Chain A
Amino acid sequence: MTDHTVACSYKIPVGPLHVALEEPMYFRVAVKGETIETVELNAGHVHRGVEYLATKRTLLQNMILTERICSLCSNSHPEALAMAAETIGAVEVPERAQYLRVIAGEVKRVASHLFNVGILAHLVGYEALFMHAMQVREVAQDLKEAVYGNRMDLGAHCLGGTRCDMDDEAITYMRSALDKLEPDVRELEKTYRTNGSILRRTRGIGILSHADAIACGVVGPVARASGIQYDVRTAAPYHVYDRLPVNVPVLDGCDVWSRAMIRLSEAVNSIEILRVCLDQLPEGPINDGGDPYIPPGQAIARTEAPRGELVYYLKTNDNPEPERLKWRVPSYPNWDALTFMLKEAKVADIAIIVNSIDPCISCTER
């Protein structure tokens, strides 16, 4: 009898390549039959020493370096770094620049969320929906390229403001792109809400209970899908978020589906925020040369990246290079929650569950 149980229980490696996205993460899963018993997470495959590198670069160079830590949250990293440096130097960011910062952040949020829900459809095996979601996302990609000159790394921020201004042409382009995007995103939301293939594979899968979510300290859409109403944009409004219609959707399904739905309704909300920003965009300067004096000191800054709360700590001294630059990325606590989500899950659902936290390995391990 005992022999029989031992024979049924296996340890299988999942990863490090191609678990959900093309990023390396490695799990050792003990399975019994098709059900997962325990999960061990192994990290460190893409550690590149970026934190050390950052202390060898000047702040102006770090504005670019940090943007390249992560692709989908690329905008939030230099944003948080600039906010930390501006706190130390007591640098005032012009109002127009604050609006432009919000615009850059929300455009990235739409594109990031659409990418994640698109990949979900791919993992479910619904390739037609996957391609359609990516096609919809392409509008956001084109928008980034047209306004910022690059599809991923916007280079929107500089110390004390933004680098890229929006003229009438860019504003008109953005408005028409949003008009194109909105009905499609709403349609996608409806599909994810009602489509049988999606519902069968995602509802009740990857459960992270409210209590476990609090214990793991998860952030972003993962937290909001487990009933935690927390969003830095409303909890500690930065830039001009206190003047904008930020809607923080909360669901208590605690499953993969709820996380996808949160992302889709946030994408719709981001489009609304963008429209309001374009309407309210004040005239004025957007930066003060981008090279303000930053005295020795230390500061912390928080932003809401598409994946959740991003925290930056910056310590400066008399050198142009920071003494210490450290960040806590949203995937770090969310990753930990995977042990709860994967418990008792089916082997076939591993990729779907992993994708549901929208993991960013490259910024977690930097």
Chain B
Amino acid sequence: MNFLQLFAHNLTQGPFTDPFPFQPAPTAKRFRGKIEFDPETCEGCRKCEKVCPAGAIRFTKTDKGLEFDCWHDSCVFCGNCEFHCPTNAIHQTQDWHLAHVQQDKYSMVAHGVIPSHECPSCGKPALFTAAPANKVKGFSEAEIAEFRALCPKCRGKYLRDRKSR
């Protein structure tokens, strides 16, 4: 290797380091970064909680409904939750800017609530979770909305009724 040539090359083509933080650093499109959660599309199956090796994800039942928390400081960005999530309600973003001051360490959380409401059919409290895609195949928009509002028991009944129709 001709090092003089290499030096000349590096002098004209370089530097090869990114000038971060003075300029944004390029980030790959597929970069596996900070977790984002969308309660709108979550089925509440809690698979992500089960497969998370770091124990970063916790679901808690409260008066408001099913609360989701993902602790960014515990997360190891493995993407297991995203891979096993049936609806892509949890997914990794390209964002890797997670540096924070010590005081903020307990607020580095992705939070979401799947609200609790009354089942319009039986009046019992139910979670407003997304309808599992495999159950509502071929449903119309209106049917999906109707189905979604029901409690698990009434959902079962709805499916049976629809089949016999």
Report if A and B associate in a common complex: yes
Total inter-chain residue pairs, C-beta < 8 Å: 64
Given contact pairs A64-B80, A135-B16, A149 touches B1 in the complex (Cβ within 8 A): no
Which residues of A lie under 8 Å from residue B92 when comparing CB positions? 149
CA distance A62 to B76 in the complex (A): 13
Nearest residue, chain B, Cβ from A291: B84
Interfacial residues of chain A within 147-165, with CB under 8 A of chain B in the complex: 147-150, 153, 155, 158, 163
Among residues 253 to 290 in chain A, which have CB atoms less than 8 Å away from a CB atom of chain B?
290
Q: Is the CB of A146 within 8 A of B78?
A: no
In the bound complex, CA of A150 to CA of B30 (Å)? 9
List the B side residues contacting A64 at CB < 8 Å: 53, 76, 78, 80
Q: Which 6 A-B pairs have the closest CB atoms?
A: A149-B32, A61-B53, A64-B53, A191-B1, A64-B78, A149-B30
Chain A's interface: helix, strand, loop or mixed, by majority? helix
Please give the residue numbers on chain A whose beta carbons come within 8 Å of chain B beta carbons, in ascending order.
57-58, 60-65, 67-68, 128-129, 132, 135, 138, 142, 145-150, 153, 155, 158, 163, 170, 187-188, 190-191, 195, 290-291
- Contact with A67, one of B28, B31, B32, B78 (Cβ below 8 angstroms): B78
B50: interface (CB < 8 Å): yes
Interchain Cβ contacts under 8 Å between A and B, 20 examples: A60-B50, A61-B51, A61-B53, A61-B80, A63-B80, A64-B78, A128-B7, A132-B1, A132-B6, A135-B16, A145-B30, A149-B92, A150-B32, A150-B77, A155-B79, A155-B80, A158-B83, A187-B1, A290-B83, A291-B84
Task: Kindly state whether residue B22 has any CB partner on chain A within 8 Å.
Answer: no
How many residues of chain B have a CB within 8 Å of chain A?
A: 22
Contacts of B7 in A (CB 8 A): 128
Given A57-B53, A61-B52, A147-B30, 4 additional A-B pairs, CB 8 A: A64-B78, A67-B78, A138-B16, A290-B84
Interface residues of B (CB under 8 A from A): 1, 3, 6-7, 16, 28-32, 50-53, 76-80, 83-84, 92
Chain A residue at smallest Cβ distance from B83? A163
Chain A residues with CB under 8 Å of B6's CB are 128, 132
